[in-house]
Chains A and B, each alone.
Chain A
Amino acid sequence: MSVETHDIYMVAAGLVFAVGLGGVFLCRHFFRKIIATKMLGAAAFLLLVSVSRRDALDAPDPVPHAMVITGIVVAVSASAFALALARRIRAETGQSTFEEGDAP
């Protein structure tokens, strides 16, 4: 079995997900937690596009591409909302981490 481009990125997707998951729970600052959730999304998108390349006939499968574009916009919207919330919390209370317990 030969290694192909999509195999490499499929494996990378899992590793990026693991890093993101670790970040969500271990990082304390809101800013990093938000970045970490974005990493989780990037992992899923990476897997979808790898799959589309693996299943390509003449051109790659367009359905995962469309899903990923949708997903990127949705994820960025959610991140912007989270960022606004974190900034407001910082402005109101001065805190940029959760105080009791470190869970997200």
Chain B
Amino acid sequence: MSGADILFDFLLAALLVLLAWRALAAPQLYQAAIFFIAFGLAMALAWTRMNAPDVALAEAAIGAGLLGVLLIDSLAAFTRGRERGEAGSKHCADEGTRARPMPRVSQAVVAAAGVVFAAVWVTAILRMPEGGGLTAIAGAAMPESGVAHPVTAVLLNFRGYDTWLEVGVLLLAMLGIFCAVGKTGFEREQRPAHIDPLINWLVRFLVPLMVLVSGYILWLGKTAPGGAFQSGVILGAAGILLRIAGFRTFGRLPVWAWKTGLVFGFAVFLAVGAAALPAGRSFLEYPAETAGAWILIVETACALSIGFTLLAFFVCLNAAGGCDGPRQPNRTN
């Protein structure tokens, strides 16, 4: 390790802590969102510093990218009612966006707790035994995994159960958002009156390209960083772009079609995994010779569903509305 490397890591680590701090302490909500996205990008940089390109891709695409879009989209909902605040409900004011000033004593207690935690943490890190990890064991199992990229092998084969459940979490979060937003979430999608012709042209050009890239990244996952999640996020981003440009994305689809879109990846994964049981193999165990092909099928299905679900997150969150949204009559206090 050269000194310059260490210095860079030190600065990046300090920047991470600083950005985390600013994201929570910045006076305005939009600043918080911007700092949060910056934090996500700094994390992605840290992942590449630690030779984790798969994680960096996922963090940049989902952690900073998609969540960033959702946060920025939500900003309006939390701040829009400010002008109304004086006339209408007191809650609609910018109340709570700023942290309440703390008494001195509490500040001291919080600072002391932080110092104690940091001391305990550093001690724990210094005394952490070398676990050794599973690098060697995973390496030895690679020839039987059906793919050449170790991270894909862990995700789709060695620990496929986690990944299956994770796709389930996406579906479940969508159901949760559906409960939170109400059943009109999809129906309320409306085409804006005016679409900028330039944006329209740009989207027409970009979206097919994004679909291509997403397919390529999916294929790449077999041998190099990439795979279902990164590919799915690009698909989802293409959908979000279409929607921002004013194209209808869900409005046209019948109910069964979008349900299928949400469930598809999870169900295919389950079907492939459960088909192993009657054949005498373990749950989620692929046939030895054709593991690579099965993994590709599962990954493709998951990528489609992930893209679809992320787009649905955006559309539904959009429908959750804000202070001057269409739900006003229900206001209770």
Contact = CB atoms under 8 A, between A and B. Distances in A.
Contacts of B327: 91-92
A71 to B, nearest CB: 9
Contacts of B51: 53, 56, 59-60
A59 B317 contact: no
Given A63-B138, A83-B317, A94 B62 contact: no
B13 A9 contact: yes
Given A39-B20, A49-B47, A73 B170 contact: yes
B296 interface: no
A51 B327 CA distance: 48
A88 B181 contact: yes
B163 interface: yes
Given A19-B21, A81-B176, A74 B29 contact: no
Contacts of B91: 93-96
A103 interface: no
Contacts of A72: 55, 58-59, 62-63
B213 interface: no
B52 A39 contact: no
A83 B325 CA distance: 16
B123 to A, nearest CB: 10
A52 B328 CA distance: 51
Contact of A49 (B50, B70, B323): B50
B134 interface: yes
B6 to A, nearest CB: 6
B81 to A, nearest CB: 7
Interface residues of A, number: 80
A82 B313 CA distance: 11
B154 interface: yes
Given A31-B74, A35-B36, A63-B133, A11 B139 contact: no
Interface string A27-40: 11111100110110
Interface of A: 2-12, 14-23, 26-32, 35-36, 38-39, 42, 45-46, 49-57, 59-70, 72-81, 83-88, 90-97
Interface of B: 1, 5-6, 9-10, 13-14, 16-17, 20-21, 23-24, 29, 32-33, 36, 39, 43, 46-47, 49-52, 54-55, 58-59, 62-63, 66-67, 70-71, 74-75, 77-78, 81, 88-89, 91-92, 95-97, 99-100, 102, 110, 114, 117-118, 121-122, 124-125, 130-136, 138-139, 150-151, 153-155, 158-159, 162-163, 166, 169-170, 172-173, 176-177, 180-182, 229, 306, 313, 316-317, 320-323, 325, 327-328, 330-333
16 contacts: A14-B125, A15-B118, A26-B110, A27-B99, A32-B24, A53-B51, A60-B135, A62-B138, A69-B54, A76-B63, A77-B169, A77-B173, A80-B177, A80-B313, A81-B180, A84-B176
Closest 8 CB pairs of A and B: A14-B121, A55-B133, A94-B91, A77-B173, A62-B150, A87-B320, A66-B154, A23-B24
